[in-house]
Structure 1
Amino acid sequence: MILVSGATGNIGRPLIAELAAKGVKVRALTRTPDTARFPEGVEACDSGRPDFDGVSALVLNSTGGSVALLEAARAAGVRRVVTVSALVVAEEADPEEGGNAAVHRALEEAVEAAVPEWTHLRPGAFAANSLRWVPQLRAGDVVRGPYAQARTSPIHEADIAAVGVRALLGDELLGQAPALTGPQGLTFAEQVEIIGSVVGRPLRYQEISPDMAAQAMMAHGVRKEQVDSLLSYFADSIGKPVPITGEVERILGRPPRTFAEWVADHADAFRQ
Structure 2
Amino acid sequence: MKIFVTGATGTVGRHVVDSLLDQKVEVRALTRRPETAGLPSGVDVVAGDLEKPDALAEHFEGIDRLYLVVAGETQKVVDLAKQAGVQRIVLLSSASAAFEGDPTGGFHRAAELVVENSGVGWAHVRPGMFAGNLSDWAEAIRTEAVVRAPYDAARQAPVHEADVAEVAAAALVAADEGKIYTVTGPESLTKSEQVRALSEGVGREIQFEELTPDQWRAHVRDQMPEFVIDWLLGLWAKTVDNPEQVLPTVQEVLGRPARTLVQWAADHRDEFR
In structure 2, how many angstroms separate the alpha carbons of the residues matched to 1:166 and 1:175?
Answer: 14
TM-superposed CA distance for 1:14, in Å, is 0.9
TM-superposed CA distance for 1:190, in Å, is 1.2
Cα deviation digits, residues 152-192 of structure 1 (max 9, x gap) = 111111111111111111113x2010211111101122111
What is the aligned partner in structure 1 of residue 264 from structure 2? 262
What is the aligned partner in structure 2 of residue 34 from structure 1? 35
Pick one of 156, 170, 175 that aligns with 1:166. 170
Pick one of 73, 89, 101 that aligns with 1:95. 101
Give the secondary structure class of the aligned counterpart of 1:26: strand
In structure 2, how many angstroms separate the alpha carbons of the residues matched to 1:15 and 1:137?
Answer: 29
Q: Percent identity?
A: 38
Structure 1, unaligned stretches of length 5 or more? none
TM-superposed CA distance for 1:95, in Å, is 2.1
Q: Is the 8 A contact 1:120 1:177 kept in 2?
A: yes
Give the secondary structure class of the aligned counterpart of 2:179: coil
Query: 1:146/1:65 Cα in 2 relative to 1: closer, same or farther (>3 Å)?
Result: farther
Aligned: 1:228 with 2:226: no
Cα deviation digits, residues 68-96 of structure 1 (max 9, x gap) = 43233233332211011111223x2x324
Q: Is the 8 A contact 2:151 2:210 kept in 1?
A: yes
Q: Output the TM-score relative to the length of structure 1.
A: 0.88
Question: How do 1:213-224 residues align onto structure 2 when only pairs under 5 Å count?
Answer: 224=227
In structure 2, how many angstroms separate the alpha carbons of the residues matched to 1:80 and 1:227?
Answer: 36
How many pairs were matched up? Answer: 265
Cα deviation digits, residues 204-238 of structure 1 (max 9, x gap) = 233345456567777566682x5533331111111
Question: How do 1:14-33 residues align onto structure 2 when only pairs under 5 Å count?
Answer: 14-33=15-34
Structure 2, unaligned stretches of length 5 or more? 50-54
In structure 2, how many angstroms separate the alpha carbons of the residues matched to 1:246 and 1:139?
Answer: 37
In structure 2, how many angstroms separate the alpha carbons of the residues matched to 1:212 and 1:45?
Answer: 46
Give the secondary structure class of the aligned counterpart of 1:178: strand
Q: Is the 8 A contact 2:27 2:44 kept in 1?
A: yes
Pick one of 67, 74, 78 that aligns with 1:70. 78
Aligned: 1:45 with 2:53: no
Q: Is the 8 A contact 1:148 1:205 kept in 2?
A: no
Give the secondary structure class of the aligned counterpart of 1:232: helix
What is the aligned partner in structure 2 of residue 142 from structure 1? 146
In structure 2, how many angstroms separate the alpha carbons of the residues matched to 1:115 and 1:252?
Answer: 28
TM-superposed CA distance for 1:47, in Å, is 2.5
In structure 2, how many angstroms separate the alpha carbons of the residues matched to 1:241 and 1:162?
Answer: 25
Cα deviation digits, residues 115-153 of structure 1 (max 9, x gap) = 420000111111111112112222221122332332111
Give the secondary structure class of the aligned counterpart of 1:8: coil
In structure 2, how many angstroms separate the alpha carbons of the residues matched to 1:59 and 1:52?
Answer: 12
Pick one of 85, 94, 98 that aligns with 1:86. 94
Output the aligned Cα RMSD. Answer: 2.3
